């Protein structure tokens, strides 16, 4: 039996991340700027992600472009959470 998923928190966060990724797909912005924007997005979504059971790893330890792997790891965890709900 699938575990409980807080869809109210998970789906809006997944949609916002997906839309943000679409916007950034063909950008000419620097990695540093994209990482900064990704951090801002995650900071906005932290409450929903945590309510949905997704941890945001080491978000305070990664600076500058080093935040991109944290963003990727969080996004992967979100996708895994979506997949485990079915």
Compute the half-sphere exposure of residue 39: CA atoms within 13 Å on the CB side of its CA. Answer: 17
What was the pLDDT predicted at 33? 94
User: Would you list the domain boundaries of the chain?
Assistant: 7-84
62: left (phi over 0), alpha (psi -120 to 50) or beta: beta
pLDDT at 3 over 80: no
> For residue range 5-62, what is the model confidence (pLDDT) as tens digits?
788 989 999 999 999 999 998 889 999 999 999 999 999 999 999 888 888 776 567 7
- Tokens 């080093």, located at residue: 66
Distance of CA 76 to the CA centre of its chain: 8
Selection from 1, 39, 48, 47 nearest residue 20 by Cα: 39
Does the pLDDT value for residue 1 go beyond 60? no
Are 5 and 37 contacting, i.e. CB atoms less than 8 angstroms apart?
A: no
């Amino acid at each position: 039996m699938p575990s409980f998923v807080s869809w109210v928190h998970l789906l809006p966060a997944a949609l916002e991340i997906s839309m943000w990724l679409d916007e950034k797909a063909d950008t000419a912005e620097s990695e540093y700027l994209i990482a900064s924007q990704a951090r801002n997005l995650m900071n906005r979504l932290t409450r929903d992600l945590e309510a949905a059971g997704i941890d945001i790893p080491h978000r305070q330890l990664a600076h500058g472009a080093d935040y991109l792997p944290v963003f990727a790891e969080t996004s992967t965890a979100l996708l895994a959470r979506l997949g485990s709900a079915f």
